[in-house]
Chain A
Amino acid sequence: MERTTDADRINEIQHSAQPCFQCGICAASCPIFRVAPDFNPRMAVDEVLRTGTVAMTGREWFCAYCLMCEERCPMEVALSEILIDIKNLSANDGKVPPSIIEMMDVIRFTGKVSHASKRTEKKRRELGLPELPKPDVDEVQTIFEMTGALDRLMRFREAEVEPE
């Protein structure tokens, strides 16, 4: 069951990758590729196109999802979809790195990805922005439970890969 959906997913990804003509503008624009030569968005698209599979090496998690690549892609390749789909496939495969699992936990218990620092709060006040809302942690917990995110989190934790 799980496998077939994945095959469908890959088919879909492949479809959205088809307009790519391997110009390399995405790679040349990607801030992560600059510091992590192992991660290249063009190669990710190319891999999907060429082999019909996504190699889940763990590097797919490097992507910061800034979408500079999609912004500049001359063929309007849906990199936003492709990159997130690859992450999802990787997650299904139990390849979520510990840092991401940790982040999920942070969200689960605090309702935020990171704490707003004193400085941020001060800056917001200076700019006349409203105070950040306090997340309702119970509500977040419920969301985690009801959407199945909690189950997934537990599964990821079981399959947790040792950091290389």
Chain B
Amino acid sequence: MTTSDSVSDAGTGVEPKVEAAESEIRIGVFPCKCGKNIGAVVDIDTVAEYAKTLPGVVHVQVNTYTCADPGQKEIQEAIREHNLNRIIVASCSPTMHEDTFRKTVKGAGLNPYLCIMANIREHVSWVHQQDPEGATTKAKELVAMAVAKATSLVPQPELDVPVTPSALVVGAGVAGMQASLDLADMGYKVYLIEKEPTIGGIMAILDKVFPQNDCSICILGPKMVDVIQHPNIKVISMAEVDEVSGYVGNFSVRVRQRARYVDPDACTACAECIEVCPVDIPSRVDQNLTWKKAIYIPFPQAVPSSYVIDPEACLGMDLLRCGKCYEKCEQHAVIPEDEDKIIEFEVGVIIIATGFEPADPKKIPRLGWGRYPNVITSLEFERLINAAGPTEGKLVRPSDITKPKSVAIVQCVGSRDIHTRMGCSNFCCAESVKCALLIKEHYPETEVVIYYQDLRMHGKYFEDQYHKAREEGIKFIRGRVGEIQEYPHTKNLRISVEDTTHNELLLVDFDMVILSMGAEGVAGNVPLPISVTQDKFYIESHPKLRPVDTSSAGVFICGGAESPKDIRDSVIQASAAAGRASIILQRGRYPIEALSARIQQDICSRCGTCVKRCPYGAIIQDGTGRYTVMGALCQACGTCAGDCPKDAIVMPNFTNEQIFAQIETALKENPEEKIVAFACAFCSYRGSDLAGVSRMQYPTNARVIRAMCSGRYSVKFAQRAFELGAGSVLYSGCHLPADCHFQTGNHWMAKREPRIRNWMKRKGINDERFRIEWVSAGEGKKWQQIMTDMSEIAMKHADEIRKKRTAKSKGKTKGGKQAKSKRSPKTQGTKKGKKKTTKTKRKKED
């Protein structure tokens, strides 16, 4: 493997040097019988004989099982013996064995990207079982297309970049803390960034935590201390990420840390300062239920264990305006001249653990929060029932500081509602049951009713909790609360709810109502190009198989930032993210996609279109105005190349030249009968393979051209195919909106449709001859249907052409004069006329 230490070689886009293509092309073709799988339908010997006649082919060797050990050895021997420099294996789908054969040729000293495949099994023998002749012809042409492509293949470098053995973790809730501890324990340096003055996230201000209802800070506090004391973790609190540049293995991070005005190393948290501070401001940690001073500590167990000054509230740290804390502090910890700091460092991987925020009750006015003091949120309840909270753990009504005798808990607030957030917030059912149990535990005589829509107690131990709640006499009524009204004098509340089990309206009075708030996403508040859902949670690379990876290599997500979840799931995900990240850190080097895009600087007009197309932010403009591709970020989808107006972008192994060569070869014989079908490697090509695996039969006239992503299909491909007389052309991709393996390639492809159709209109090409179809890897049946339909379209077109031809030749045989007069009849005349008018129209448009 060629490796390169120099980052500029591979990472920043300076084109890596590629060995010059050898002057003489020596192609070896290896048609495979695949036992009877191919051999029983396709006449392999005929294919082999035909291959020998193709330009550049110097060696052809038929094998019964090419993928078996002896078959692979034969390829390697042939490479050495015949000095082959391009290899074509005509056998099964490249999805199946491209990797295998690339390794084979590599073993013989050839660059692996000089080996390609012709799919004569899934695309031929398995789907044309009843038509051996047609199948053999198709196999021959597929081999010819591969040979045409192989002629212009060039070796691709296999590069990798060095990885900085450190990590950035953004957000120090329980998820960020866990991920940091895991990576730090493995020996990697971790920078943990938290925007608040303390780490801990939401969990740090909860009272008890379900499902066992153990004390939250008692289990989290020690972990917070572990984090701050870990020699490998640098906690940067009151800080946010300003900028991230670079790519996997080599991110440069700039963090802005706000001034704390108290030296955390000097402050002993003695609390002398708050005795003298004259300013009271609402306490955010206590949900504004009480006051704190302008110099404060969020809560006693805060980490770092240091006070902080709120500069907005502070009267002035100088002695003239106030400066009382400054004077009082014996540790001289107050620093009036403190300033925001910029901290810069390099990391190899990034984990985003920015959590979520409790939903905003102000958005649901019918429930009265903010207007009626005794309607509180679940987080406010957590503070009220917390021994360290504003009431030292006494549950009281905010309106009159009396103990409520009856409490209603209202579920699904801010969740499962199109107007706020469609999704279920996952933790609030268990949260409600926890609140109810806590009330019963403190005040058994209190009446507690939970109004729920669906009680989702799905987690481990959750059902026990539910069971306990029923035993405690907590009432559960199915129905979502419609509205809450207040009795103006007593400040008691009346809720209106339908008991949907009994089809009965209930108007019930309570002393207090707790709104079980869902989650609101905050994703997107870190400057990284990771896509987010509509409700602002990060989108994972694959919802099932890569749940903590993102589309950006080296960037991972966990905890509430990914979706609303409880503590246990957040911690599980955090460890998973740390594990995934450590794979990159531990290897020390990161391989670069060998087929990444390259921009030909002499052709590029610097329009910047490609930057907008790239889903990975892989294309950047450097200081001199040049656009370059960062090899380590590029995933080789080719969406940029699909829309580059200058064709300045080279997609190795899928270059314009190669694709045009495939189109031209496919259309050499009877073009009007052919379907030129473009299929993307991840969905539609696999769908076509599935049709093969399932032996779904269809006509033999399709010639499939594979690309990594449908984003690669430029307008020109269809145009070239039609210019060469193709019967029909198919652009197929992964389903809209979200199935594209490369995120947005299919969207950009779909956007090209009008341009293609307008062009077709101008050229008088029947609209039905071009199709865009979305085919998933599971839709073999759909592929079969499309092939059958498009074949009919092509055949219809071929018929028309034939009719025209015979009409013409008839005219010819009847003699020149008649032929001339033949051309004058109305139909032809009008056609010509029409064409002219369209031409002149176009000119006018221009």
Contact = CB atoms under 8 A, between A and B. Distances in A.
A28 B505 contact: yes
Contacts of B499: 24
Contacts of B418: 74-76
B483 A28 contact: yes
Contact of A34 (B453, B503, B505): B505
Contacts of B478: 24
Interface string A3-42: 0000000000000000001111111110001100100101
A40 B480 contact: no
A145 to B, nearest CB: 43
Contacts of B505: 27-28, 33-34, 37
A29 B482 contact: yes
Contacts of A21: 416, 453
Given A23-B453, A74-B419, A28 B504 contact: no
B641 interface: no
Interface size class of B (residues with CB under 8 A): 20 to 34
Nearest to B418: A76
Contact of A23 (B366, B479, B504): B479
Chain B: interface secondary structure?
strand
A85 to B, nearest CB: 22
A38 to B, nearest CB: 10
B500 interface: yes
B216 interface: no
Interface string B430-458: 00000000000000000000000100000
A67 interface: no
B480 A29 contact: no
B47 interface: no
A40 B479 CA distance: 13
A29 B483 contact: yes
Nearest to A43: B503
Interface size class of A (residues with CB under 8 A): 10 to 19
B497 interface: yes
Contacts of B479: 23-24, 27-28
Contact of A25 (B480, B503, B504, B507): B480
Contacts of B412: 23
Contacts of A42: 498, 500
A23 B483 CA distance: 13
A28 B482 contact: yes
Contact of A37 (B419, B480, B481, B504): B504
Nearest to A33: B505
A132 B405 CA distance: 53
Interface string B497-528: 11110011101000000000000000000000
Interface in B354-397: 366
A29 B496 contact: yes
**Most central of A29, A37, A42, A76 by chain B CB within 10 Å:** A29
A125 to B, nearest CB: 33
Contacts of B481: 25, 28
Nearest to A75: B418
A24 B419 contact: no
A76 B420 CA distance: 12
B417 interface: yes
A75 B479 CA distance: 15
A24 B417 contact: no
A24 B498 contact: yes
A22 B480 CA distance: 9
A21 B507 CA distance: 22
Contact of B500 (A22, A72, A76): A22
Contacts of B504: 37
B453 A27 contact: no
Nearest to B497: A28
A34 B499 CA distance: 13
A16 B481 CA distance: 23
Interface in B452-499: 453, 478-483, 496-499
Interface string B753-789: 0000000000000000000000000000000000000
B482 A27 contact: yes
**Most central of B480, B497, B504, B507 by chain A CB within 10 Å:** B480
A25 B482 contact: yes
A105 B482 CA distance: 37
A36 to B, nearest CB: 10
Nearest to B504: A37
A47 to B, nearest CB: 11
A28 B496 contact: yes
Contact of B366 (A24, A26, A33, A72): A72
A42 B483 CA distance: 16
A21 B479 CA distance: 11
Contacts of A43: 503
A149 to B, nearest CB: 35
Contacts of A28: 479-483, 496-498, 505
A22 B500 CA distance: 8
**Most central of B479, B499, B507 by chain A CB within 10 Å:** B479
Contacts of A25: 480-482
B416 A74 contact: yes
Contacts of B366: 29, 72
B742 to A, nearest CB: 32
Given A21-B453, A33-B505, A43-B503, A27 B419 contact: no
27 contacts: A23-B453, A23-B479, A23-B500, A24-B479, A24-B480, A24-B482, A24-B497, A24-B498, A24-B500, A26-B482, A27-B482, A27-B500, A28-B482, A28-B483, A28-B498, A28-B505, A29-B366, A29-B482, A29-B496, A37-B504, A40-B498, A40-B503, A42-B498, A43-B503, A72-B482, A74-B416, A74-B419
Interface of A: 21-29, 33-34, 37, 40, 42-43, 72, 74-76
Given A24-B453, A43-B503, 4 more contacts: A23-B480, A25-B482, A28-B480, A74-B416
Nearest first, the 6 A-B pairs at minimum CB distance are: A28-B482, A74-B417, A24-B498, A27-B498, A23-B480, A29-B482
